[in-house]
Structure 1
Amino acid sequence: MTLKYALPVIALVASAAVSAEEYQAFVGLNADHYRASGDSETNWKLDGTYFFDKKVTLGPLDQFEYINKVTNVSASFRREFDTNITRIGGEYFAENGLVVSAAHTRASGDYVNEVGLGYLVSNNFIVRVNAVKPEDESTDFMFSASYNHQLQGNDYVGFTAYADDEFDYFGISSKYFASLGEGRFIAAGITLDDNDGSSDWSAEADYYFSKMTSVGLTYNKADSYSLNAKHFFSQNWAVEARFASNTDDSTLKTYSLGVTGQF
């Protein structure tokens, strides 16, 4: 490669390195206000995740690699329809590719325990099995596999397939992320699943005007939709607003507001 062609490549790599941000801790506070035929309810959620190594952005400040490979711990508290729900969990990624996860969720005295075992076959492929044990109920098993197909630069197409142990519930999801040039990006995804013979689908898309500002929409088989906007006021703090409703029942409305911190 001659110097004439090498210099633009070096400049491009240097630019990407400068624009990428690194984070290890994430916190979020969200409020969802539901309205239906004159009735209303406001739910709250506070959550946080700490990664034991840095997570590198793909351009937008809220977009990271499709398959997480960093050990982490997380906790959340939700107030949903007069019920307090708490959850703690974590994932451990060993050097030999083994992945171990665990979580405990409690709501109104009832609890659910989860234990997972997985294997990182490669940086782009992971398989998992999760055992879910609700209080006083039998254990359910969920199997999944995720694959990341890397495209040019940070662009990728990711796929995840999943099913329970009796194959009563199964599905597949996919996500596409790409740079559109001039600091603009797009992220889009679709999910198809079947629950005991009842099929469902949902789709979502986000357009990034820059790495700090985006708008998005979602739609599903039940004709429910949402519109959202998110903006980072700094490298660490963002505000997000969302409106959701249903095309067949306009009396159902959700107004959401959230604040996110990344450090």
Structure 2
Amino acid sequence: MTFKYVLPFIALTASASIAAEEYQLFTELKADHVRFSGDSKTNWDLKGTYFFDKKQTLGPLDQFEYINKVSNIDANFSRVFNNNVWAIGGEYFAENNLVVSASHQRTSGFYASTLGLGYLFADNFIVRAEAIKPKNSSTAFLFSASYDHKLQNNNDYIGFTAQVDDEFDYFSISTKYFASLGEASYIALGLGLEDNDGTNNWNLSADYYLTKMTSFGVKYDKADNYTVNAKHYFDQNWALNAGYGSNADTSGIKVYSLAVIGQF
């Protein structure tokens, strides 16, 4: 069985204090205005995540530990090309280090449910097994492991995640590097490699933080899709993220994005 799980989503100067902030509730309202061959459409996305304990930042207000260890629930609603897409999920971290997760996603004519079980061997190492049941399809099983290694201080790290399905038709490896550059500036770099039944892909990302409240980012993948964005927090709770995306080979595709972010 090939692991394929697709929903119709569009993928497409403040003072800097070194003190870390703490948050439990994260919300985002995003609009993507898509233009292609003279046509245009605006897609909407509203999502929120609540953690049952506080999450501490690593400096930038949108950077947290690589491996989450806090129980949470999340919900998402999207309006994508006249289709409504709903999603709800959550994770529970038990005292015996077991991790239980569940999610359900639904859109017109399609739905899928996921159940997961994991084990937190250490604060920096977790393994998971997930059973994914799409409508009118067999259950797929996905196995993953994540590990992070602390670098020069308690915040800098390099993290790795590997995933594979039960018949090895799908596998992926991703890594993230986060570090302070001094004087309240930071960098976050990402690399992902994926093979889906012989079709491979890669993606790169980079974010540079002028301060913990202002950043600029860029993403690029094998299919020549790219995005650039700028994010700024006006205070400790509210931010605005603006982006532009296109394709290097098909310049007629343009995506203009704007998101309002609230975290408390």
* TM-score when normalising by structure 2: 0.92
Q: 2:26 & 2:254 partners in 1: Cα distance?
A: 28
- Once residues 191 and 180 of structure 1 are traced to their aligned partners in structure 2, the CA distance between those partners, rounded to angstroms, is 23
- Structure 2 residue identity aligned to 1:178: A
Segments of 5+ residues of structure 2 without an aligned counterpart are 1-15
Distance 2:17 2:145 in 1: 30
Structure of higher CA gyration radius: 1
Structure 1: stretches of 5+ with no match in the other structure: 1-15
Q: CA shift at 1:142, angstroms?
A: 0.6
| Residue 41 of structure 1: how far off its partner (Å) | 1.1
**Deviation digits for residues 207-261 of structure 1 (CA, Å, limit 9, x no counterpart):** 0000000001001111111110000000000000000011111101100000000
Aligned position for 1:222:
223
Alpha-carbon spacing, 1:109–1:62, altered in 2? closer, same or farther (3 Å): same
Q: Counterpart in 2 of 1:205?
A: 206
Q: Within the alignment, does 1:129 sit opposite 2:129 as a pair?
A: yes
Deviation at 1:128, TM superposition (A): 0.3
- Report the Cα distance in structure 1 between the residues aligned to 2:17 and 2:221, rounded to whole angstroms: 37
Matched to 2:112, the amino acid is: V
Q: Which has the higher contact order (CA 8 A, sep 6+)?
A: 2
1:109 shift after superposition? 4.7
Matches of 1:73 and 1:100, distance apart in 2: 12
Offset from partner CA, 1:56-79 (integer Å, 9 cap, x none): 000000000000000000001000
- Percent identity of paired positions between Structure 1 and Structure 2: 65
Match in the other structure for 1:56: 56
Select the structure that is richer in helix.
1
Q: With the length of structure 1 as denominator, give the TM-score of the two structures.
A: 0.92
Letter in 1 for 2:134: P
Contact 2:17–2:184 (CA under 8 A) maintained in structure 1: no
Aligned residues: 248
- Distance of 1:18 and 1:213 partners within structure 2: 14
The residue type equivalent to 2:80 in the other structure is: E
CA contact (8 A) 2:18 2:184 kept: no
Asked if the contact 2:190–2:205 (Cα under 8 Å) also holds between the matched residues in 1, the reply is: yes
The amino acid that maps onto 1:55 is K
Change in 2 beyond 3 A, CA 1:219/1:254:
same
Output aligned runs, 1:1-263, within 5 Å: 19-153=19-153, 154-263=155-264
How far apart, CA to CA, are the structure 2 residues paired with 1:90 and 1:55? Answer: 16
Between 67-76 and 103-112, the greater mean CA deviation after superposition: 103-112
Mapped to 2, the partners of 1:37 and 1:112 lie a distance apart of 32
